[in-house]
Structure 1
Amino acid sequence: MKNILIIDGATNATFSVFQATEDEYSVIFPNDQDMELIEHLIERLGDEEAGRLLLPLWERPILKREAMGIHGTLFYDNENSDGSIWRIIPASKREIDWDDLSINRAQRELFSRYR
């Protein structure tokens, strides 16, 4: 199982973690991604298929303190009122590909070992 952190715009800021099977994870995060915007997932799969894919995920919450790592982040509530996306993530949708000006020295050193 892979752990997915859900980041949304809720005021309770729970940012919960849910477990996905390897197959579910590979559909949500294709091509070595570890970040995805829900809007992009829906564009790729369609609303119905995305809903079908995510439904079992919501039945597998896990406490953060029991999660053995976060494998991916799924972002919700990314659209402005005009439908444009406000959240900026690397085009590759991989954590290690942040612009060097967006991260600190230690992160740059860490990420450079995996690029």
Structure 2
Amino acid sequence: MKNIQIFDGAENAVYDIFAATDEEFALIFSPSTDVAFIDEVYEQQSAEILDTIFTAIWQRRVQKSQAMGIHGILFYENEHKKVYYPTRRDEEAVNPEGSQLR
């Protein structure tokens, strides 16, 4: 299982972590990436398949104190963050002008 943290644009978002099987994770995140945006995920996969996957994933919330790492970040309603993740890899996050964030 791999843990995915959800960053939702809602005012009352709590940024929960959910467990996904390796197969589910691979359908959400492109190879060699660990950042995804929900609109792009749905552009790459069938909505029917993704809806089924997410229904299962939402049943597997992981308490943050129990999480053994975060393997991916999934953004909802945060399209403005795309500029910071051009490679869709968290460790390669950059400022809009290209300088490293870390």
TM norm structure 1: 0.77
Tell me how far apart the structure 2 counterparts of residues 22 and 54 of structure 1 sit (CA, whole Å): 13
Could you say which residue in structure 1 is the equivalent of 2:41? 41
Unpaired runs of 5+ residues, structure 1, are 79-84, 108-115
Tell me how far apart the structure 1 counterparts of residues 99 and 86 of structure 2 sit (CA, whole Å): 15
1:86-105 aligned within 5 A: 86-88=80-82, 89-99=84-94, 101-103=99-101
Unpaired runs of 5+ residues, structure 2, are none
Show structure 1 runs of 4+ deviating over 6 A.
none
Matched residue type, 1:32: S
Could you say which residue in structure 2 is the equivalent of 1:113? none
Q: How many residues of Structure 1 are paired with residues of Structure 2 in the alignment?
A: 98
| Offset from partner CA, 1:22-71 (integer Å, 9 cap, x none) | 11111111211100000000001132222122110000001011101111
Specify which structure has the higher proportion of strand.
2
Q: Which has the larger radius of gyration?
A: 1
Task: Answer yes or no: is the 8 Å Cα contact 2:27–2:45 preserved in 1.
Answer: no
Identity %: 35
Deviates more, 1:23-32 or 1:59-68: 23-32
Report the Cα offset of residue 92 of structure 1. Answer: 1.9
TM norm structure 2: 0.85
